Amino acid sequence: MIFFQFLANGISYGSLVALVAVGFSVIYRTTKIFHIVHGVIYTIASYFLYSLFVSLHLPLLLSLPLALGGGILTGYLVERFIYVPLVRREASGGIYFLSSLGVYIFLVNLIALIYGNEVKILSSGIEPTVNIGGVILTRIQIFQIFVSLLLFLLFFLFLNRTSWGKLIRAYADDPVLLETRGVNPYKVRAFVFCTGSFFASVASVLSSLDVGMDPHVGIGAFLHGAVATIIGGVEKVEGAVLGGYLLGILQSLVIWKTSARWAEAVTFGLLILFLLFKPEGLLGERRRVEE
Amino acid sequence: MNYLLHILIMINIYIPLALSLNLLVGYTGLLSMCHAAFYGIGAYTTTLLMVNLKVPFFPALFAGILFSSLLSLLIAYPSLRLRGDYFVLASLGFQIIVFSILYNWVSLTRGPYGIPGIPKPSLFGFEIDSLPFFFLFSLFFAGITFLAFRSLYSSPFGLVLKCIRDDELATIAMGKNTTFFKIWAFVIASGFAAISGALYATYVTYIDPTSFTLDESIFILTLVMVGGAGNLKGPLSGVVFLIILPEVLRFLGLPDTVAPNVRQMIYGGLIIYLMRKRPQGLLGEYRWR
């Protein structure tokens, strides 16, 4: 029975990882940027929520959308003022990654400077729990599971059924060809960064409502999201979802069987195994990653 | 005077780190994010041998270099088959695994409690316990590293690495086994990072895993990127500039509570600015494209 408890915990954590992973994956697949700023957007959305909800005493239902908006805006500004000039200069992968790293360092320390390094929590009350056949989950955990499922479903429909979804897939395949068809590629890119940042922000607020935040939560969330993306396969957004849930469940089982201390080592050990033996991920098609 | 010597010793300790990472970043084109892991492996191997087995400094240092190089083989072979972002992610993963082991294998490394009371190195029965002597001692290692990398960079080996960085396919076409060269670059870089680890451990006489985190890896990468990669003076200028910068900020009267964050923000801002305007860094040669 205890197995199902850990499985349920794993699924609720996995849905957060999957949210971050879907955001990272849509940005990475479309723009080929190893967007480490994704982690800081995760951090920033939580702190927006903290400022609005705790410092300004706004109602939660108003603070949540504003915090999400703040995360999306940050993602957009980074694209507009950091990446776009580099695209215009036709920079290559290394420069994007290093610029992204610079933005990450800058913003994380700005947050630490403003809010301090200690953990901040949003509410001190005890979360009501629900008992489903012996498995006990808090209300927010159930919320995490259902909100992310709903968002994944909507996002797949969006990607596969709408013209904007088609544009995103087209940009991922060949940005130059898309431009010759009279589409403004910067619009598509901006939209992709907003979408990706939206997913990171949702994961962020859902997590901070549960366990609070500190300025360094973002890098862990980002790395788990990136690992989930690789495990599931970069080619398809479904891969990121699958990878996210698998990683969440795996971590939960490691915590159950050994201790929380080894969860990180197992996660990154798994990443290295995948990079070695199945670099295309679970859902990807076999191709060379050397080039 | 002691304050000045302390800064100079820190510069000497970081010189092997920056020059060896430069071999990977500026010569081979590999953005390695796990240099602090090898720094830590060197520090811990040397320390554990000196503290637990009473091994003298030089054999312990040698063992640290050897162990760090050997472990680098473990990660080098698999991850060097990957390129670009996948290599970055693999090196990040390795960094986190090493930190996790240093932090959690408490029976060996004492984990978060750290290891205090590391003996000072001794040379021919003469213990190097005063700052001026330690400065000369660290200068000796920084000098050796400098000379080693100077000859390495201009050697045929260094030229092949540059060639790999600029066009790997062309290098293969010229009949060079690029994987072999990249692995050697990795092994050499890790060995030199271990020297810094041993120096740091015996200088501070206390180590714990928080000196060897991902943030430290990022800092070492910042040294190389800000100074510039691909030659000797680039990384050297990066080390001098970024080690002195916090002291300058201190003299400007920045309160200690905000100083670390402001310093990091300056690093971040510098990277963003340099990537946009001057991808070769202050004095570097290799322009990231």
Residue A46 identity (one-letter amino acid): S
Q: Determine contact: A109 vs chain B, CB below 8 A.
A: yes
Count how many Cα atoms sit within 13 Å of the Cα of residue A109 in the half-sphere of its side chain.
Answer: 20
Q: How confident is the model at residue B182, as a pLDDT?
A: 83
Whether A47 maps to a domain, the answer reads yes
Three-state DSSP state, B229: strand
A71 is in which domain, residue-wise?
2-277
CB distance from A289 to chain B under 8 Å? yes
**Which residue of chain A has the CA closest to B90?**
A272
Range with top average pLDDT, A55-64, A69-78, B266-275 = A69-78
Please check whether residue B203 is in contact with residue B77, taking contact to mean a CB–CB distance below 8 angstroms: no
Q: Which of A93, A105, A107 sits opposite B85 (nearest CB)?
A: A93
Q: Considering only residues A256 and B144, tell me which one the structure prediction assigns the higher pLDDT.
A: B144
Q: Which of A208, A244, A235, A193 is nearest to A38 (CA)?
A: A193
- A173 assigned to some structural domain: yes
User: Among all residues of chain B, which has the CA nearest to that of A224?
Assistant: B93
pLDDT of residue B289: 55
**C-alpha pair distances (Å), B89 with each of A98, B41, B285:** 13, 20, 26
Q: What is the CATH number of the domain that holds A213?
A: 1.10.3470
Q: Read off the pTM.
A: 0.89
Which of B100, B225, B289 is the closest to A91 by Cβ? B289
CA-based angle A90:A96:A99, to the nearest 5?
125
**H/E stretch holding A132:** strand A129-132
CA distance B223 to B237: 8
Distance in angstroms (rounded) separating the CA atoms of residues B60 and B47: 8
In a domain, A118, yes or no: yes
The CA R_g of chain A, rounded to the nearest whole Å, is: 19
| Chain B: closest CA distance from residue A78 (Å) | 11
What is the predicted pLDDT for the residue at B83? 65
Specify if A146 maps to a domain. yes
Domain count, chain A: 1
Identify all chain A residues contacting B103, using CB atoms and an 8 Å cutoff: 261
Q: Pick A218 or A133 by higher pLDDT.
A: A218
* Contact of B262 with B207, CB cutoff 8 Å: no
Mean pLDDT of A229-242: 87
Dihedral sign, CA of B178, B179, B183, B189?
positive
Closest in A110, A230, A276 to B89, CB measured: A230
Q: Give bridge partners of residue B123 from the DSSP assignment.
A: B126
Lowest mean pLDDT of A212-226, A260-274, B191-205, name the range: A260-274
Residue in the block written with tokens 């100083």: B259
Contact B40, B102 (CB under 8 A): yes
> B272, B273, B277: which to substitute to probe chain A, counting the most A Cβ within 10 Å?
B272
Per-residue pLDDT of chain B (289 residues; tens, 9 = 90+): 788 888 888 999 999 999 999 888 888 778 888 899 999 999 999 999 888 888 888 888 899 999 999 988 887 877 677 767 788 888 888 888 888 888 888 788 887 888 887 788 877 767 777 887 888 888 888 899 999 988 888 888 888 888 888 887 888 888 887 788 888 888 999 999 999 999 998 888 888 888 888 888 988 998 888 887 778 888 888 888 888 888 888 888 777 778 888 888 988 998 888 888 877 777 777 766 5
Q: Which residues pair with A130 in a beta bridge?
A: A137
Q: Among the listed ranges A127-141, A142-156, B42-56, which one has the minimum average pLDDT value?
A: A127-141
Residue A153: partners with Cβ closer than 8 Å, 6 or more residues away: none
- As a whole number, mean pLDDT of residues A18-44 equals 92
User: B268, A97: Cβ pair inside 8 Å?
Assistant: no
A285 located within any domain: no
The dihedrals phi and psi of A128, each to the nearest 5 degrees, come to -65, 145
Tokens of residue A6, six digits: 């850990």
CA nearest A234 in B: which residue? B86
Query: Both tokens of residue B138?
Result: 């660290």
Is there a contact between A36 and A238 (Cβ–Cβ < 8 Å)? no
A272 assigned to some structural domain: yes
The answer to whether residue A239 sits within a structural domain is yes
Question: In terms of Cα–Cα distance, which of B179, B275, B218 is closest to B17?
Answer: B218
Q: How far is residue B214's CA from residue B35's CA, in Å, rounded to a whole number?
A: 9
Kindly determine whether residue A271 and residue B269, on different chains, have CB atoms separated by under 8 Å.
no
Q: Is the pLDDT at A291 greater than 50, yes or no? A: no
Closest-CA residue in chain A for B86? Answer: A275
Euclidean distance between the first and final Cα of chain A, in Å? 47
Q: Give this complex's ipTM.
A: 0.86
* Residue A283 is assigned to a structural domain of this protein: no
pLDDT value of residue A107 = 94
Mean pLDDT calculated for residue range A125-137: 78
CA B12 to CA B196: how far, in whole Å? Answer: 8
Other CB atoms within 10 A of residue B60 CB: 24
Strands A135-138 and B126-127, bridge-based pairing: unpaired
The per-residue pLDDT for B288 is 61
Q: What is the pLDDT of residue A290?
A: 46
pLDDT for A286 equals 63
Q: Which residues, 6+ apart, have CB-to-CB distance to A154 below 8 Å?
A: none
For residue B288, list chain A residues with Cβ-Cβ distance below 8 A: 91-92, 94-95, 98
Cα separation, A229 vs A223, in Å, equals: 10
Q: What is the pLDDT of residue B165?
A: 80
